[in-house]
Structure 1
Amino acid sequence: MASVSVAQAAERLGVSVPRIHQRIADGSLSAERIGAQWVVDERSLLRIQERSKAGRPLSARSAWAVIALAENDRDRLRPSGPAASARARLQLDRLLDPAVAPPAKEEVVSDLAVSLRSVFRNRAQRRLFRGAPADLDDLRADERWKMIVDLGASGIASAGVEGYLGEADVDAVLKDYLLVEADRDANVVLHVISDGQYPFPESRLRLAADLAEHRGPREGARAAELLHELALEWNAAER
């Protein structure tokens, strides 16, 4: 993705240039120095802009309750209690209502992707790493994964590895495969969840959230399509 100047970043966020330099220094904005000037990664800038506009994300427990409801998994939803179930239904209705119409326009697709990222941000801690390409097949087959994300099933080609991993297994997996923190060249995406959390492997809603977090046009479009499919099915079931 493109980069922007510090002055442009300050204008877009509505803050001062020194504030942008502070964000670069504390790591909340990704940037690199080119000659005597800093340039800000636009993807990092968009994340901050989006979070300032988006509503408050759900807690991890509430996010998974919405996914359980979308899967009609009453057994996993029941322990949350009737009040939590009612809140999950309200949140799911709010998420799916704008997706009832086919997402034909780019602006609609973008808005749906933003909603997915906002609502489900806390379902897991998303961490990006770089691993040796020769190790990726072994990493993908590792039994410690709670669930591997199959982007290929959605028609999105991916040479990397993406999946859900319990907190207790993270350090060992990082060590065993010598994974290093990365950003632009990441080929491993870890969604770190609480130990014991069921990741709903067949959930299209969870997959839509995974796709939306990639922030690419194809991934966003497919996420919007999945949300549209779910909206139609949800409405039909409610009649």
Structure 2
Amino acid sequence: MIMRMASVSVAQAAQRLGVSVPRIHQRIADGSLAAERIGSQWVVDERSLVRIQERSKAGRPISLRSAWAVIAASENDRDRLKEGGSVTSARARVHLDRLLAPYLVRADDEESVGELAVSLRSMFRNRAERRLLRAAPADLADLRADSRWASLVDLGASGIASGDVEGYLEESKVEGVAKDYLLVESDRGANVVLHVIPDGQYPFPNSRLRLAADLAEHRGPREEARAAELVHELAPEWKEVER
């Protein structure tokens, strides 16, 4: 479920990013920082602010090809790893090991969960273009059942109750689906999360690591906690595979 976060003043945003107030106004003007005018003052959406803070301190995201190779490695899918070549395969295993190694010992405290969520969002940011959209509530059931999805994200099976629709869709099919269901961009109040992938990209529908990345991007405490659980499940299994 998409959560609406609180807003902060321009001065508070500047303090948190360590920049000047005019710089915040520049970011608002160029669209890199979401904000709205209330009376004569601008207020900044905290969710947008948190994203910028994360990107300034998180590690560099890996490429789309590498992100899916890491997911393939987590599934021990040797055939799809070979498709990327020996160098990509080796790098994928290194990335995966670095991600999972700290979580061989379970850590459920809020700080550890938050750090893991940041790592997931950073590492897998380029796996797909994430778009927040809105459909008429009456159309959600038909949209969920549409055969054009490459893969649906089953939030219910992950333990997160939500009536929203989330899934992976090949780039060539986006326009048709958006037109058929009158989908509109809607950062706030969105009920459709669309992950746009290149045509032919296998979305690993049963991957726990991919689901963990999906959940982490919701930024809610329940979603991040469930993402951590999935990573904790994977870590010892990966260790056994690598022995």
The normalised TM-score by structure 2 is 0.97
Counterpart in 2 of 1:80?
84
Give CA-to-partner distance per residue, 1:115-140, whole Å, 9 cap, x none: 00000000000000011000000100
Taking the aligned partners of 2:218 and 2:180, their CA distance within structure 1 comes to 26
Counterpart in 1 of 2:179?
175
**Residue correspondences, number:** 239
Counterpart in 1 of 2:160?
156
Give CA-to-partner distance per residue, 1:168-225, whole Å, 9 cap, x none: 0011111111111011200000000000000000000000000000000000000011
Comparing both chains, which one has the higher relative contact order based on Cα–Cα distances under 8 Å and sequence gaps of 6 or more? 2
Q: CA deviation at 1:19?
A: 1.0
Give CA-to-partner distance per residue, 1:36-80, whole Å, 9 cap, x none: 111101111000000010111010000000000110111111011
Match 2:33 to one of 20, 29, 33: 29
Letter in 2 for 1:134: A
Taking the aligned partners of 1:32 and 1:99, their CA distance within structure 2 comes to 40
Taking the aligned partners of 1:177 and 1:103, their CA distance within structure 2 comes to 42
Q: CA deviation at 1:238?
A: 2.7
What 5-or-longer segments of structure 1 have no aligned partner? none
Taking the aligned partners of 1:171 and 1:99, their CA distance within structure 2 comes to 40
Give runs of ≥4 in structure 1 deviating > 4 Å: none
Secondary structure, counterpart of 1:154 in structure 2:
coil
Letter in 2 for 1:61: R
What 5-or-longer segments of structure 2 have no aligned partner? none
Taking the aligned partners of 2:99 and 2:224, their CA distance within structure 1 comes to 15
Q: How many percent of aligned residue pairs carry the same amino acid?
A: 77
Taking the aligned partners of 1:237 and 1:78, their CA distance within structure 2 comes to 17
Taking the aligned partners of 1:81 and 1:123, their CA distance within structure 2 comes to 18
Taking the aligned partners of 2:203 and 2:84, their CA distance within structure 1 comes to 16
Moved more, 123-132 or 26-35: 26-35
Taking the aligned partners of 1:104 and 1:81, their CA distance within structure 2 comes to 36
Counterpart in 1 of 2:137?
133
Letter in 2 for 1:199: P
Taking the aligned partners of 1:84 and 1:147, their CA distance within structure 2 comes to 24
Match 2:52 to one of 41, 48, 52: 48
Taking the aligned partners of 1:222 and 1:49, their CA distance within structure 2 comes to 23
